[in-house]
Amino acid sequence: MIDNIRVLLADDQELVRYGFRLMLEANPGMIVVGEASDGTQAIGAVGRLRPDVVLMDIRMPGVGGVEATRRITELYPETRVLVITTYDLDEYAFGALDAGAAGFLLKDTRPDDLVAAVRAVHSGDAVVSPRITAKLIEVAAPHLLQRRTLDADEALNALTPREREIFVLIGRGETNSEIATTLHLSESTVKANVGRVLAKLGLRNRVEAVIRAYESGVVGQ
């Protein structure tokens, strides 16, 4: 029997939370274990309920989504945070990334894509929709350029040919399953290689790997 993916909904609009609950719980293996209407509640709920995934709104009263994401990923690193964003909130994208978000969704995401995204981050993949990747790069690039060092370039050169192949595919937004199919590898082998790529490049998650791939020119914009 497959364990349920336990999801916490954090959004200040009750109707939005209700809609997400309906969409998620219509799928086997998906259960909403709690809700929060602001960042403070979300942090507390994660501590009590230990969900696998938090669906996090960006703008909420009091402690917002970016700060809540930062605290949750620091205190409960086993919980993955999937941030909800929109094009007119580009200025928050890098903050959420820097806070440790496992991915980004738009609020007009289709139900099937929402469910797939929750499953993806739960399995260790990142969710960086092609529709917002360009915007994310635009916001993040200046910060990444400031952080770029000789050590970072040397780390990229230290990747093995296989790790570099996988790094490129991560940068293109492919999941572990898709990379495994592309390179004719097992998913467990891909997962191990992804871990080594992140460790060698000093990256916390696959979202940062996507940004680094664009910033370094390994993947063209």
Render pLDDT for 128-171 as a digit per residue (tens, 0 to 9).
665 556 666 566 555 555 555 445 567 788 899 999 999 999 88
Query: Are residues 120 and 179 in contact, defined by beta-carbon separation less than 8 angstroms?
Result: no
Residue 81 CA to residue 79 CA, distance in Å, equals: 7
Tell me the per-residue pLDDT of 1-37, one tens digit each, with 9 for 90 and over: 457 899 999 999 999 999 999 999 999 999 999 999 9
Report domain 148-216's class.
Answer: mainly alpha
- Which CATH number applies to 5-136? 3.40.50.2300
Does the predicted TM-score (pTM) go above 0.75? no
Residue-wise DSSP of 159-190: S-HHHHHHHHHHHTT--HHHHHHHHT--HHHH
* 3-class secondary-structure state, position 60: coil
Q: Where in the chain are the domains?
A: 5-136, 148-216
How many whole angstroms from its chain centre is CA 77? 13
- CA gap 6, 3 in Å, rounded: 9
Tell me the C-alpha distance between 153 and 18, whole Å. 46
